[in-house]
Chains A and B, each alone.
Chain A
Amino acid sequence: MDNLQWMSAAALGDAFRSGHLSPVEALEATLKRIAAIDPLVNAFVHCDAAGAVQAAQEAERDLRAGLDRGPLQGIPVGIKDIIDVAGLPCTCHSKILRDHVAASDAAAVAALRRAGAIIVGKLATHEFALGGPSFDLPFPPARNPWNRERHPGGSSSGAGAGLAAGLFPLALGTDTGGSIRNPASACGVVGLKPTYGLVSREGVFPLAPTLDHVGPMGRTVADVAAMLAVLAGHRPAGPHGGSSKGKHGDVRGFRIGYVRHFHERDMPAHPDVAAALDEVAAALAREGALIEEVTLPALNGFSSVNRILLQAEAWTIHARWLRERPEDYAESTRRRLLAGAFLTAEDYVLAQRRRRTLIEAVEAVMGTVDVLLTASAMDPPCRIDDAAEMARTYPRQARTPFNVTGHPALAMMAGLSSDGLPLSVQFVARYHAEATLLAIAAAWERIGGWQDWHPAALA
């Protein structure tokens, strides 16, 4: 079959069931592409070809025997390298855990295996899922397939890069301050941070437990929806109690709150980003959605709360290593983690109290709309080796508010910048309303046809 590298999980599943392709054939093509392309984008820390072949053979045998485990059966999936996969390294992309091998599967990985997914390996991350790309670590940073001189976002950087490079159709990421949605935005794929707690964090190396989320990434909204159903253990309920609203990407009557002040006043966005967001709103309005401008608390209030909580919680996890082997961290990780030593109990409790006020403010607005439409990244991805520009642009984003509040949020492509880099949009829904979020995202995908946009250099 042609263009196997860009096939969605759904299309692969159809091909398996119609007999046009087998899981083993699909995996062989996947491994061949990983061998050829991964050295260009560094998506993998560890590729488990042997384990994947064995799992593909099992999936093939089960399908032939009529044992259908659902849409992920036989589908290659990459796992961020802070998530345990039994028998594979779990290095957190760090010298500190370079020799660590996981004894058992994380709960999310176990759920994927039960659904017949093929674990192809462990994916690059920022060290311990914190900060930005570093060049002083045991593994190179992942690169953006749209332009390999640019950063791919992070910290689930290998997931974003590998999806955009056609190395696998699905990946498992984590998100504490935007780490699923950032690479989805930078690499032009789909990343969903579910409602806080919906997907188990058991077996995932923590960064900041009250902000950490585990979630799916893919090249299509339907694939992300299918993976979420497996991770959550159930298919999210219909968007409106079983009514037809939202089905088949029909957005007529949806009330969408456009948070324009995030990218106009709080952090003025690159003109290409602002234009893309206006186009998303206009296109959904043409489809029958009701767009209204809404106001949330300013972005810097969310980001300061996120930073204090993250640093305080991460300190409790890393304090011992920072005392005993600070030289084994990348410089940027060390600086960020050390900040936790200077925070007080008062700082943490006050940040938690401010968090409650922010949640109440967002909830008040969410009660008036079905979905929020906001910026994700304020800028197209910059050069990966430009430390000053990385430091300037990396915090310019509107993702952390929904780690602070725990609302489900999805980032996806919204076009290309004038220099050919992915632009993005973020949709946010009420707690546990992932189905609504996916319905809006599916509509925007249908309008833009983003699932068919791939980096030309890696076609």
Chain B
Amino acid sequence: MMAKRAPAGPDMSEVERQVRAAGLDRAWTQFRDDVLAAARQVAAQRDAATGVAAASEPWPPMIVTPVPTER
């Protein structure tokens, strides 16, 4: 039986690049665990999310029917 492979963690150099780009140097220094936890969470949810394949509809923004629809 093949062992289940653990999901890849975020690339540290990529995380650091994003941290710098976002201006989060202070959080990176003081709360590195929190920053890494956030990066891991986003990576996991991106893997879990199902994409929309077609380039056509549907597109945002959300449309909520502006008038009552009661029958």
Interface residues of A (CB under 8 A from B): 195-197, 210, 237-241, 300-301, 304-305, 307-308, 311, 319, 322-324, 326-327, 331, 334-339, 341-343, 347, 349-357, 359-360, 406, 430-433, 435-436
* Residues of chain A with a CB closer than 8 A to B58's CB: 353, 356-357, 360
Interface mask (B8-52 → A, CB under 8 Å = 1, otherwise 0): 001000010011001110110011001101110111011011111
Contact A436 B70 (CB under 8 A): yes
B interface list, Cβ under 8 A from A? 10, 15, 18-19, 22-24, 26-27, 30-31, 34-35, 37-39, 41-43, 45-46, 48-52, 57-62, 64-65, 67-71
Q: State A351–B23 Cα separation when bound (angstroms).
A: 25
Number of contacts between A and B (CB, 8 Å)? 124
What are 24 of the A-B contact pairs (CB < 8 Å)?
Answer: A196-B64, A304-B48, A308-B49, A323-B26, A326-B27, A326-B34, A327-B31, A331-B31, A331-B34, A335-B34, A339-B39, A339-B42, A341-B19, A341-B38, A342-B10, A342-B15, A342-B18, A342-B43, A349-B60, A350-B49, A430-B70, A432-B65, A433-B68, A435-B70
Interchain CA distance A341-B18 in the complex, whole Å = 8
Q: Which B residue sits closest to A359, measured CB to CB?
A: B62
B45 touches A307 (CB 8 A): yes
How far is the CB of A366 from the nearest CB of chain B, in Å?
Answer: 9
Contacts of A300 in B (CB 8 A): 48
CB distance from A63 to the nearest CB of B (A): 33
Residue of B nearest to A238 (CB): B70
Please, which residues of chain A bring their CB within 8 A of the CB of B70? Answer: 237-241, 430, 432-433, 435-436
Closest to A307 in B: B45
Beyond contacts A323-B22, A331-B31, A354-B50: 10 other A-B pairs, Cβ-Cβ < 8 A, are A240-B71, A326-B34, A337-B38, A338-B38, A342-B38, A342-B43, A356-B62, A359-B62, A431-B64, A433-B68
